[in-house]
Copies of this chain bind each other. A is one copy, B any other.
Amino acid sequence: MRIAATIKEARAFIAELRTERAGAESGNVVGFVPTMGYLHEGHASLLRRARQECGIVVLSIFVNPIQFGPNEDLDRYPRSEEADLALAEREGVDVVFLPSVEEMYPQERRTTVTVTGLTDVLCGASRPGHFDGVATVVSKLFHIIKPDRAFFGAKDAQQVAVLQQMVVDLNMDVEIVPCPIVREADGLALSSRNVYLSAEQRSEALVLSRSLREATARIESSTDVTPRQIVESVRQAIEVSPLAEIDYVQMLSFPALAPLKHEEDLSELRKSGASVILALAVKFGSTRLIDNAIISLK
């Protein structure tokens, strides 16, 4: 495993590997897993998927300042370089790209990649500028790594939708591969931010996955339930927890993230076999957790 601290090194390492492995099956295919580090089993699942499909696996670890708002947790975002590199080694990563902020933003940045529409809802509404920061840094990383496939966790479902839109709109020659949410045995979606939770907060946070599971079952079994009823039932379940402060609970079409008619049942959507996303963001103390369920209607 090679560790690149600079863009130049990353490009050189990947170019070398492309040449070395050109003969092998998928030898020339570059799989890329961009992360902010503090890696957990969710990231490991992305790396395993990349390892299965691609001859060359590249991991980036970069806590991207421009996707954090002024009152967000950039300064205290958890880091653990040593453990991250051990996990990467274990998962057979070929190149870890581990740049400094100065390497990624050496001069005053004047260029921004903006995806509109998809970013007005969910986390985009709560975190203005967040998805500009995500789209811009992922563009940069794609131009540095030049991956054939890039693997993203479905926990950040809106991020996946935004990046898929960006890739199509800008004709980027890379396939965005969404991968399933990985959960603890008790249902909590894995997140680097879980480390912030007290034991009590962590226990109450189980309401998120539980309420999503219940709502999914209800959508799948009941033919006349409305989006408004679903959202209301999730809200009520979460509000039982005294530590939970709801940022949003929303049900939208997926991947377009367009509003559903709240008063109508889902029968029209069922006819077209569309998908919906039920997504939420909830704060426990100063820790903001997100979770979602993507439900294919039938």
Contacts and interface: CB of A to CB of B under 8 A. Distances in A.
Contacts of A173: 11, 143-144, 146
Nearest to A132: B114
Interface stretch (A103-111, A193-201, A227-235): A103-111
Given A140-B170, A171-B143, A172-B143, A135 B118 contact: no
Interface in A113-140: 113-118, 135-136, 139-140
Interface string A41-85: 000000000000000000000000000000000000000000000
A166 B139 CA distance: 11
A112 interface: yes
Given A144-B171, A146-B173, A170-B143, A111 B111 contact: no
Interface in A160-190: 165-166, 168-173
A246 interface: no
- Secondary structure type dominating chain A contacts: mixed
Name which of A107, A110, A165 has the most chain B CB atoms within 10 A of its CB. A110
Interface string A90-113: 000000000000000001011111
A225 interface: no
A111 B143 contact: no
Contacts of A169: 109-111, 140
A246 B117 CA distance: 38
A172 B112 CA distance: 13
B171 A107 contact: no
25 contacts: A7-B171, A107-B168, A109-B169, A110-B115, A110-B117, A110-B118, A110-B169, A111-B114, A111-B116, A111-B165, A111-B166, A111-B169, A111-B170, A112-B113, A112-B114, A113-B113, A114-B114, A136-B170, A140-B170, A140-B171, A143-B170, A143-B171, A143-B172, A143-B173, A144-B171
Interface of A: 7, 11, 107, 109-118, 135-136, 139-140, 143-144, 146, 165-166, 168-173
